[in-house]
Chain A
Amino acid sequence: MKKLVLAAAITTSLMTLQSQAAGRDTINIVGSSTVYPFATVVAEKFGKKTNFNTPKIESTGSGGGMKLFCAGVGLDTPDITNASRAIKKSEYDTCQKNGVTDITEVQIGYDGIAIANSIKAQNFSLTRKDLFLALAKKVPNPDGSKTLLENPYKTWKQVNSSLPDMEIEVIGPPPTSGTRDAFAELAMEGGCKEFNWIKAMKKTDKKAYKTVCHTVREDGPYIEAGENDNLIVQKLEKNPNALGIFGFSFLEQNDDKVQGSLVEGKSPEFATISDGSYPISRPLFFYVKNAHISSIPGMKEYLQEFTDEEAMGDDGYLLDKGLIPLSATDRSALRQSIIKGKKFTM
């Protein structure tokens, strides 16, 4: 008898669990830790303004978010995934394979990556080539021959005679970070491409090209600081000889402690990042599972809140948090595509 009661109790509790999952009334969002600070602000405002529940936002990283998002359609999968890069072809294929065919891509704005040092130190003016030569594991032989050798540079002056005679010391994120991916892709590869013979490699041996351009040196000058940008800012404050790599919003919040270096003559600012002239900036996205719009209450309203002028516009509250907005025409085009529920294809 007792066993029967116990079994009944377990089944009922499992069933309530099931029904809990079935009748979900909170939007589930996963994805990039770079988009997280923006998405959370929108979610909070949305929760306070409307009668819907505040969406739950997990910070899983862009790749992790895509994996969960593309796992299938159904209430136990997330409704939206944030990404600090566009969806990859392989991820898109997984999505298609698992029945997640109807998705909408929403670009929310841009994020710049700052190379900064303490305000007590001299401001740097770098090029992407300088960054590549200073931080890559293997660099082209300085004698001009088309060979690579282990990075011999110890000071900035050796890299480029116009730079100060200081030891190379750069504090940056570890390989698991999206910021690091973007830095490798935008800054290092950008500098790497300036060597024509390496650029030519892209066509002949893409893998080798990527290894050359993206691999960061491990002999000391590049210091991995963990995925905490606040920590990097603190370290820069204590050590005026070091440069640090982190997201633009951290530079903006701490501009009494650190200053952004010029890259290709442009300083990391709102205007230069949004018009694309600051070279190390990337677009930020989120992807919506349209199949869930009818079953999860508040999805449409959340999209509206996010893309509202009050949020992502030129005066919006997301700008206070360091988002760099799209242009006005892009924004209205985006709103149109959301109203239509435009299907994203690749």
Chain B
Amino acid sequence: MNNTDIVKHGLKKRYAKEKRFQWYGRLAVLTGFVFLTLLLLDIIIKAMPAFQSTQILLDIPLDRETLELSTDATINKDTLSAINYDGLIKKSLSQLYPQVSKRNDRKQLYKLVSSGAEFSLREYIMKNPELISSNSEIPVLSIWLKADDDIDTFYKLQTKISRVSDRQVEFIDSLIQQQRIRTSFNTTFFTASDSREPEQAGIKGALLGSFWTLLVTLLISLPVGIGAAVYLEEFAPQNKITDFIEININNLAAVPSIVFGLLGLSVFINFFGMPRSVPLVGGLVLSLMTLPTIIISSRAAIKSVPPSIKEAALGIGASHMQTVFHHVLPLAMPGILTGTIIGMAQALGETAPLLMIGMVAFIVDVPGGVVDSATVLPVQIYLWSDSPERAFTALTAATILVLLAFLAIMNTLAIFLRKHFERRW
């Protein structure tokens, strides 16, 4: 048997082996893909109800008698805010169902409408005080108000929920007949902050909290990261100390993020006395976490700039610093920015370090700066997933979608930068 025969003999087996290996690879990719699709589908299906909200059309009587305003009372902020809006809503519900008289039935009737509806009504009337001023006829305001979260879930999913009583189902059926109930796009989800009533809760506060936190992170970690990378790559002498620093930066990238939270708690809050739950401290902690990512990717980008460019600049008389800032850094910028965006995306999705510095909190007021109390998107997800009200499940999933959308946008931006601005030599 000569060599050709030996090769030919084993050829079939070798081809088969390769084929098998390719199939293993495909299977691995497929498995990953299936899991990802399942996960996304599950989240999307759960999130869908959160983007719709159920509303009920009510006729609110606005004559002065019902409002308990005397005919000569002036309409101003004080008199308007003193009106009993909850009473108005209850009155108009009773007018819809005058036959309901038993106390328990009335209670169930009143529970059709969200407990936050009185505040929406108040806001609407405060904005449009002329509704009351027109005194010629008896004015009636027809307004769509949000339904209670249980009613909302029942109406949207059309399944029996034990928290919606048979009596309430009758009310809803008659509302459907009178076309006084509808679902519409849930704008509250984007315009409101956290609330304990699922139908009134939104992500605006968390979104802005994330924005302020990431702003601090970016402002600190980008200059410090680039500075460290430029110095280590271009100026620092090669000795044991710089080797030691390099090893430590690489180690830092692998430190669990909760450790940075503990560090932030003891250094920024306990030692420097900064307030708890503010984006400033959150941003500082997250910038500690993203620094290694930025330094490592910036160094790689700087390293990939060809030495010929540097040498040419030095050759025509540029100083070392001029070479770096005029030639090397601009060429390395796309790589640096890609690394920064990926680091930022990581920071955006981080919860653990923020647990330690008090950002896991119920905060209703929208943060207006870096020293206002705030939460961030992933923390909002964490808080809502732990709430007993069932409607929060949908809100949790919807917030996850928003977070995923932001992450996808950031990563696409990073890919775009790399594809369009990165130069290859």
Contact B362 A57 (CB under 8 A): yes
Please provide the chain B residues from 347 to 391 with a CB less than 8 Å away from any CB of chain A in the complex. 358, 360-365, 371, 373, 383, 385-390
Q: Which of B127-135, B178-186, B271-279, B313-321 contacts A (4 or more CB under 8 A)?
A: B271-279
In the complex the two chains form, is B115's CB within 8 Å of A227's CB?
A: no
Q: Does A141 contact B (CB under 8 A)?
A: no
Q: Please measure, in the bound complex, the distance between the C-alpha atom of A21 and the C-alpha atom of B364, giving whole angstroms.
A: 19
- Return chain A residues, CB-CB under 8 Å to B386: 33, 227-230
Asked whether A43 is an interface residue with its Cβ less than 8 Å from the other chain, the reply is: yes
A55 to B217 alpha-carbon distance, docked (Å): 27
Q: Is A256 an interface residue (CB 8 A)?
A: yes
B-side contacts of A47, CB under 8 Å: 364-365
Among A308-346, those with CB < 8 Å from B are 317, 321-322
| CB of A254 closer than 8 Å to a CB of B | yes
- Assuming the A-B contacts A58-B360, A230-B393, are A37 and B273 also in contact, with contact meaning beta carbons closer than 8 angstroms in the complex? no
A87 → chain B closest CB, angstroms: 21
Bound CA span A268–B280, Å: 45
The answer on a CB contact under 8 Å between B360 and A256 is no
Q: Would you call A58 and B393 a contact (CB within 8 A)?
A: no
A241 at the interface (CB under 8 A from B): no
Q: Judging by beta carbons under 8 Å apart, are A43 and B160 in contact? A: no
Q: How many A-B residue pairs have CB under 8 A?
A: 87
Most buried by B among A43, A58, A60, A247: A58
Which residues of chain B come closer than 8 Å to A247, judged between CB atoms?
Answer: 388
Interchain CB contact under 8 A, B390 and A254:
yes
B168 to chain A, nearest CB (A): 14
Q: How far is the CB of A98 from chain B (nearest CB, A)?
A: 14
Contact residues in B for A54 (Cβ distance below 8 Å)? 363-365
Q: Given contacts A21-B275, A44-B195, is CB(A253)–CB(B389) below 8 Å? A: yes
Residue pair B362, A230 in contact (C-beta under 8 Å)? no
Q: A21-B273, A230-B386 are in contact. Are A37 and B196 (CB under 8 A)?
A: yes
Interface pair A58/B277, CB less than 8 Å apart: yes
A295–B248 CA distance with the chains assembled, in angstroms: 46
Q: Which A residues lie within 8 Å of B308 (CB)? A: none
Say if the beta carbon of A17 comes within 8 Å of chain B.
yes
With a cutoff of 8 Å between Cβ atoms, the chain B residues found around residue A20 in the complex are 275, 371
Interface of B (DSSP majority class):
loop
Complex partner residue of B160 from A58, A256, A317, A321, CB under 8 angstroms: A256
Check if A26 sits within 8 Å of B373, measured CB to CB.
yes
Q: Are A53 and B119 in contact (CB under 8 A)?
A: no
Say yes or no: is A249 at the interface (Cβ < 8 Å to chain B): yes
Contacts A17-B371, A76-B273, A230-B393; A322 near B365 (Cβ below 8 A): no
**A28-87 CB contacts (< 8 Å) to partner B:** 28, 30, 33, 36-37, 39-41, 43-44, 47-48, 53-54, 56-60, 76
Any chain A CB within 8 A of the CB of B162? Answer: yes
**Cβ of B420 under 8 Å from chain A:** no
- Residue A165 lies at the interface, judged by CB distance under 8 Å to chain B: no
**Residue in contact with A57 in the complex, picked from B115, B361, B371, B390, CB distance below 8 Å:** B361
A91 at the interface (CB under 8 A from B): no
A254 to chain B minimum Cβ distance, whole angstroms, is: 7
In the bound complex, residues from chain A placing their C-beta under 8 Å from that of B276 are: 28, 58
The one of A230, A250, A256 in contact with B385, judged by C-beta atoms closer than 8 angstroms, is A230
Chain A: minimal CB distance from B381 (Å): 12
A36 and B364 within 8 A (CB): no
Give residues of chain B (296-344) contacting chain A, Cβ–Cβ below 8 Å: none
Interchain CA distance A295-B88 in the complex, whole Å: 37
- Residue numbers in B under 8 Å from A218 (CB-CB): none
Q: Is B424 located at the chain interface by the 8 A CB criterion?
A: no
Q: A21-B273, A40-B362, A256-B160 are in contact. Are A228 and B371 (CB under 8 A)?
A: no
B13 cross-chain contacts in A, Cβ below 8 A:
none
**A317 to B196 Cα, complex, angstroms:** 12
Q: Shortest Cβ distance from B41 into chain A, in angstroms?
A: 17
Please determine whether A230 and B275 come into contact, CB atoms closer than 8 angstroms. no
Q: B163 in the interface, Cβ–Cβ < 8 Å?
A: yes
Q: Which residues does chain B contribute within 8 Å of A30, judged by CB atoms?
A: 358
Within the complex, the shortest CB–CB distance from A166 to chain B, in Å, comes to 25
Q: Is A255 an interface residue (CB 8 A)?
A: yes
Given pairs A18-B273, A43-B364, 4 additional interface contacts (CB within 8 A): A17-B274, A43-B362, A60-B358, A247-B388
13 A–B contacts, CB within 8 A, in A order: A17-B274, A18-B273, A41-B196, A44-B195, A47-B364, A56-B277, A60-B358, A228-B385, A230-B386, A252-B388, A253-B163, A253-B389, A321-B196
